[in-house]
């Protein structure tokens, strides 16, 4: 069921969880290999690089470093003040502090949006609006990458964070409803039986 919790409660609770664990989160995720996801975004972007990429929910900035090292213009966005400070200091990139439920995105600015393990924090009741805002922030033909923990569409609080555990059919309905066209999907980590692949990755074109 869609959340009836006030948006402020959802945002404050989830962001508070990350704020209280910011340094531990940085250390715990520093060496995560998401190169498969980065490549999935970049190979679908048309045109000549460098591309302008929004790392949506950039956290401490690990993936901003990767995009920047490839020569792209990488801009981060996160709701956690600690993560924004870390990302700015560690990457030298422009990083915006914005709540996912109160976005202020420029129109038609980005060639790609990289939303790795972030959009599942958006309540289902708010997801259509958020996805449409991301659609508008992409250039025509731009590409959205999403990776979310998959599940049976359960929604609610888990270990201090609010989340929605979409299955493919539910997620596909939300994103196509926002005007995107599906390019591909796959499960992660690669090379394992499906029951050992908790992540659903999807790629979309505006």
Q: What percent of the chain has pLDDT over 90?
A: 82
Assess whether pLDDT exceeds 80 at residue 38.
yes
pLDDT at 27: 67
Q: For 7-205, CATH number?
A: 3.40.50.150
Residue 91: the pLDDT is 96
Query: With contact defined as beta carbons under 8 Å apart, do 32 and 38 qualify?
Result: no
User: What is the pLDDT at residue 2?
Assistant: 45
Give the pLDDT of residue 25: 61
pLDDT for 115-157, tens place per residue?
999 999 999 999 999 999 999 999 999 999 999 999 999 999 9
CA dihedral 124, 19, 78, 133 (to 10 degrees): 20
Q: pTM for this one?
A: 0.92
Report domain extents, the chain. 7-205
- Residue 181, classified by CB atoms within 10 Å of its CB into exposed (0-12), middle (13-18) or buried (19+), is exposed
C-alpha–C-alpha distance, residues 178 and 135, integer Å: 7
């Amino acid at each position: 069921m869609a959340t009836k919790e006030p948006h402020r409660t959802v945002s404050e609770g989830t962001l508070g969880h990350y704020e209280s664990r910011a340094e531990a989160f940085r250390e715990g995720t520093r060496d995560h290999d998401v190169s498969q996801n980065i490549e999935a975004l970049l190979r679908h972007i048309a045109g000549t690089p460098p591309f302008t990429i929004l790392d949506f929910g950039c956290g401490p900035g690990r993936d901003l470093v990767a995009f920047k090292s490839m020569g792209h213009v990488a801009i981060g966005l996160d709701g956690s003040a600690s993560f924004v400070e870390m990302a700015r200091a560690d990457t030298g990139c422009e990083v915006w502090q914005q709540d996912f439920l109160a976005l202020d995105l420029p129109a038609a600015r980005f060639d790609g949006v990289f939303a790795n393990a972030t959009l599942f924090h958006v309540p289902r009741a708010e997801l259509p609006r958020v996805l449409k805002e991301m659609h508008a922030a992409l250039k025509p033909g731009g590409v959205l990458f999403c990776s979310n923990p998959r599940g049976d569409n359960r929604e609610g609080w888990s270990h201090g964070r609010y989340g929605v555990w979409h299955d493919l059919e539910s997620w596909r309905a939300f994103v196509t409803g926002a005007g995107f066209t599906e390019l591909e999907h796959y499960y992660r980590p690669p090379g394992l039986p499906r029951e050992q692949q908790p992540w659903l990755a999807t790629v979309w074109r505006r």
